[in-house]
Amino acid sequence: MSDSNTFEQEITRFSWNKVTDKIYAKTSTQVESALSKKYRSLDDFMALISPAAEPYLEDLALLSRKSTQRRFGKTIQMYIPLYLSNECQNICTYCGFSYNNKISRKTLSETEIINEIKIIKGYGYDHILLVTGEANNIVGVDYLKNAINLIKPYFSNISIEVQPLSHEAYEDLSQLGLNSVMVYQETYNKQKYRSYHPKGKKSNFNYRLNTPDRIGKAKMHKIGLGVLLGLENWRTDSFFTALHLKYLEKTYWKTKYSVSFPRLRPAKGAIKPNVNITDREMVQLICSYRLFNADLELSLSTRESEEFRNHLIGLGITSVSAGSKTSPGGYAIGCSELKQFEISDERSPYEFSEVVKQKGYEPVWKDWDSSMQL
């Protein structure tokens, strides 16, 4: 299937440098105008994520809290990643799984997958995210099909974060019971993209960029977007993520969407952040997304600290992981030397869910059932 009529055409209308200049030129008057509106445009989103909006963080947070409660109630969706393999054919300068890293490689067998599942189910989870490195010859479509068949009797909601696949593959996986696909562009700065991905299929900027279109055409229930915060200017990258989101919502309007906020974390062989996003700026960004799109699921992982994650409950985030392990076999075996990156919040699912309750919110372990699919 060709990638005609995709976001690749839409993004060519925008210059990275011009978008950056426009964001930094926003004024307090434009910020106040954006805050006062019921519905906000991409231009309003620019204003909300601009430096000019930093003094308005309390206003942003208050409006974001109200909008989130109005749409999602006082609930926090709980999910957990299951790493199936750390095999990878790409060289990515920020990732512990990078092909050039001399680490032990492991791909879970059927028995090992079941062992991981038993532990994860014991935590109370019914929503699982399957993660692999990008190695088509080892963890390709057939491996994923087998894994989903093994896992689906235990979970009502199955998501994947793996290598970009074909439209036909997404259709097949959807029919097997896959609900969601997370695919992060890492950065929308095409000129810099190759420097972070010098080798492997992931170095093809446009193929990755058009992946959400292939997912949307396969009529997947949900698509997750995001960039790796720390590679390029977070404000500009976030504008392009919002642009991509708006295009997808218009084109595949029956699909749900989520945005995640992964910050670059320490990992074997990984570069240090080129740019930093402070906690205050992260709050600004998350609240800006909420005001831009009231229906959007916003997700925060264990990359963030305990204190920061506690603070974000109620401010816009609707989905969180807890008790995460970032290595294949991490729950049943340990295998810490196989992990993709260092996590920050090491609390157990129970410990985090208790914090959620203490803040007056309800941890939700299940929000989807295959019987609900039309």
Q: SS3 letters for the chain?
A: CCCCCCHHHHHCCCCHHHHHHHHHCCCHHHHHHHHHCCCCCHHHHHHHCCHHHHHHHHHHHHHHHHHHHHHHCCEEEEEEEEEEECCCCCECCCCCCCCCCCCCCCECCHHHHHHHHHHHHHHCCCEEEEEECCCCCCCCHHHHHHHHHHHCCCCCEEEEECCCCCHHHHHHHHHHCCCEEECCCECCCHHHHHHHCCECHHHCHHHHHCHHHHHHHCCCCEEEECECECCCCHHHHHHHHHHHHHHHHHHCCCCEEEEECCECCCCCCCCCCCCCCCHHHHHHHHHHHHHHCCCCEEEECCCCCHHHHHHHECCCECEEECCCCCCCCCCCCCCHHHCCCCCCCCCCHHHHHHHHHHCCCEEECCCCCHHHCC
pLDDT of residue 268: 72
Q: Per residue in 69-80, pLDDT tens? A: 999 999 999 999
Radius of gyration in angstroms for the set of CA atoms belonging to the chain, rounded to a whole number = 20
Residues 96 and 271 sit within 8 Å (Cβ to Cβ): no
CA angle 363, 366, 371 (to 5 degrees): 160
Any idea what the Cα angle at residue 40 is, between residues 252 and 221, rounded to 5°? 25
Q: What is the pLDDT along the chain (374 residues), one digit of tens a residue?
A: 445 678 999 999 999 999 999 999 999 999 999 999 999 999 999 999 999 999 999 999 999 999 999 999 999 999 999 999 999 999 999 988 899 988 889 999 999 999 999 999 999 999 999 999 999 999 999 999 999 999 999 999 999 999 999 999 999 999 999 999 999 999 999 999 999 999 999 999 999 999 999 999 999 999 999 999 999 999 999 999 999 999 999 999 999 999 999 998 777 777 888 999 999 999 999 999 999 999 999 999 999 999 999 999 999 999 999 999 988 999 998 665 555 557 789 999 999 999 999 999 999 987 544 433 43
pLDDT digits (tens, 9 = 90+) for 137-195: 999 999 999 999 999 999 999 999 999 999 999 999 999 999 999 999 999 999 999 99
In whole angstroms, what is the distance from residue 289 CA to residue 299 CA?
Answer: 11
**Per-residue buried b or exposed e for 108-137, using 16+ beta carbons within 10 Å of the residue's own CB:** beeebbebbbebbeebebbbbbbbbbbbee
Domains of the chain with bracketed CATH: 7-366 (3.20.20.70)
Q: Interior CA angle at 134 toward 333 and 86, to 5°? A: 15
* pLDDT confidence of residue 373: 42
